[in-house]
Amino acid sequence: MTTAPTHAKGLEGVIAGETEICNVEQTSLIYRGYEIADLAANASFEEVAYLLLVGNKPTADELASFKAELVAERSLPGAVVEFLKTSGDLVNNQYAVPMDILRTAVSILSHLDADCQDNAADANLRKSKRLLAQIPTVIGHMQNSIEGKEFIAPNANLSHSANLLYMMTGSEPTPEAEKVMDVSLVLYAEHDYNASTFTARVISGTLGDLHGAVTGAIAALKGKLHGGANEAAMDMLADIRKDIGPDNDLGKVTDWMHKAFAEKRKLMGFGHRVYKNGDHRAPILHGLGRKAAEARGEEFVKLFELGEMVQKIMEDEKKIYPNVDFPCGMTYFTMGIPVPQYTPIFVASRITGWAAHIMEQHANNRLIRPRVAYIGPAPRNWND
Ligand code: SDX
Give distance in angstroms: CA of 307 to centre of ligand 1.
18
Predicted confidence at residue 4, as pLDDT, reads 59
Crossing angle of the two packed helices 121-146 and 98-111, in degrees rounded to 10: 140
**Cα–Cα distance measured from residue 307 to residue 309, given in angstroms and rounded to the nearest whole number:** 5
Q: How far apart are CA 193 and CA 63, in angstroms?
A: 27
Atom of ligand 1 nearest to the CA of 221: 12
**CB atoms near residue 120 (< 10 Å):** 11
Q: What are phi and psi of 322, to 5 degrees?
A: -70, 145
Give the pLDDT mean for 208-237: 98
**Quick check: do 22-225+341-363 and 229-334 share a fold?**
no
Q: SS3 for 142?
A: helix
pLDDT above 70: residue 5: no
Give residue 273 CA to ligand 1 midpoint distance, Å. Answer: 6
Distance 368 CA to ligand 1 centre (A): 25
Domain boundaries, the chain: 22-225+341-363, 229-334
Check whether 2 has a pLDDT greater than 60: no
Dihedral Cα 330, 335, 339, 343, nearest 10 deg: -80
Amino acid at position 249, single letter: D
Q: Which of 211, 226, 280, 357 is catalytic?
A: 226
Q: Check if 266 has its Cβ closer than 6 Å to any atom of ligand 1.
A: yes
Q: Is the C-beta atom of 126 inside 6 A of ligand 1? A: no
What's the pLDDT score for residue 19? 98
Tell me, using a 6 A CB cutoff, whether residue 270 lines ligand 1: yes
How far apart CA 237 and CA 241 sit, in angstroms, is 6
Mean pLDDT for 362-367 is 98
pTM for this one? 0.98
Show the beta-strand stretches assigned E in the chain: 22-24, 29-31, 34-35
Measured in Å, residue 257 CA sits from the centre of ligand 1 at 16
- Mean pLDDT, the chain, rounded, equals 97
Question: What strands lie across the sheet with 22-24, from one edge to the other?
Answer: 22-24, 29-31, 34-35
Provide the pLDDT for residue 88: 98
pLDDT number for residue 161: 98
Note if 226 is an active site residue.
yes
- Is the CB of 207 inside a 6 Å radius of any atom of ligand 1? no
Sequence-separated (6 or more) residues with CB below 8 Å from residue 21:
31, 32, 52, 190, 192, 353, 356, 357, 360
Quick one: which of 245, 239, 227, 234 has its CA closest to 190? 227
Mutate which of 259, 273, 342 for ligand 1 pocket (most atoms within 8 A of beta carbon)? 273
Looking only at Cα atoms, what is the longest distance across the chain?
75
User: What CATH superfamily classification does 22-225+341-363 receive?
Assistant: Citrate Synthase, domain 1 (1.10.580.10)
Residue range 109-163, pLDDT digits in tens: 999 999 999 999 999 999 999 999 999 999 999 999 999 999 999 999 999 999 9
> CA-CA distance, 63 to 60, in Å (whole number)?
5
Catalytic, 325? Answer yes
Mean pLDDT on 33-57: 98
> How far, rounded to the nearest angstrom, does the alpha carbon of residue 70 sit from its chain's CA centroid?
19
* pLDDT tops 60 at residue 269: yes
> 42: exposed, middle or buried (C-beta count within 10 Å: 0-12, 13-18, 19+)?
exposed
Q: pLDDT, tens digit, for every residue of 296-325?
A: 999 999 999 999 999 999 999 999 999 999
Region 229-334: CATH code:
1.10.230.10
Q: What is the pLDDT of residues 77-117, one digit of tens each?
A: 999 999 999 999 999 999 999 999 999 999 999 999 999 99
